[in-house]
């Protein structure tokens, strides 16, 4: 999937939003649910045993959703106070990503962004392999990197964060089935957070 293909896919499948990870749960709340990565909704790992729990849970869930050797897109974004059209790629601790889109947040959301603000979306296409993204998942769990995994073939978004994973499914029905399967890992709060 090339950059332009990703943008077309996103606009077709998620027309009410931008690919900004933390906003999706509010826009697609009838298709969203959250799992917690540690028992009793503990947010951060303090021991290697707790990191193992996080990685085991997250790999199991992602494997269930995306599946071995299925193509998915890793997406992350960077905020900037100036236009960065001269930067077509970004080198991270997890390899190089291509810029797919720049969102002018000041223009798109003037009520939220009075000062000049842009959001650059970077992507890379890979095939899922269990335990192959453990370094990235651990960095996300420690709030050192922010990314989400989008699987066009399975119509789902997997958005890990420091504390768990937000999942956007293709329908309320498929979301409810998955919530039932992972009921021991979801929040006891009424709002699901």
pLDDT score for 159: 96
pLDDT for 1 equals 62
Question: How many angstroms separate the CA atoms of 16 and 9, rounded?
Answer: 13
pLDDT at 188: 76
Distance CA(96)–CA(70), nearest Å, equals 20
Say if strands 148-151 and 71-80 run parallel, antiparallel, or are unpaired: antiparallel
- The pLDDT tens digits of the residues spanning 112-142 come to 887 899 999 999 999 999 999 999 999 999 9
Q: What gap in Å lies between CA 115 and CA 123, rounded to an integer?
A: 26
CA 151 → CA 24, 84, 112, distances in Å? 15, 27, 30
Amino acid 28: pLDDT:
94
Which residues, given as ranges, of the chain have pLDDT below 70?
A: 1, 192
């Amino acid at each position: 999937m090339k950059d332009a293909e990703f943008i077309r896919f996103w606009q077709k499948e998620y027309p009410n939003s931008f690919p900004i990870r933390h906003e999706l749960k509010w826009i697609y709340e009838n298709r969203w649910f959250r799992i917690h990565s540690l028992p009793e909704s503990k947010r951060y790992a303090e021991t290697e045993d707790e990191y193992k729990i996080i990685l085991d849970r997250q790999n199991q869930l992602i494997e269930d959703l995306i599946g071995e050797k299925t193509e998915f897109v890793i997406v992350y974004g960077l905020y900037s106070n100036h236009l960065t059209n001269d930067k077509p790629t970004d080198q991270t601790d997890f390899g190089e990503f291509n810029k797919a889109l720049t969102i002018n947040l000041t223009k798109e959301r003037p009520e939220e962004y009075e000062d000049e603000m842009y959001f650059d979306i970077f992507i890379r296409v890979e095939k899922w392999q269990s335990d192959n993204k453990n370094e990235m998942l651990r960095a996300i769990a420690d709030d050192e990197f922010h990314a989400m995994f989008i699987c066009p073939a399975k119509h789902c978004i997997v958005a890990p964060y420091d504390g768990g994973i937000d999942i956007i499914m293709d329908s309320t029905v498929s979301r409810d089935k998955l919530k039932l399967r992972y009921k021991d890992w979801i929040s006891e709060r009424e709002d699901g957070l």
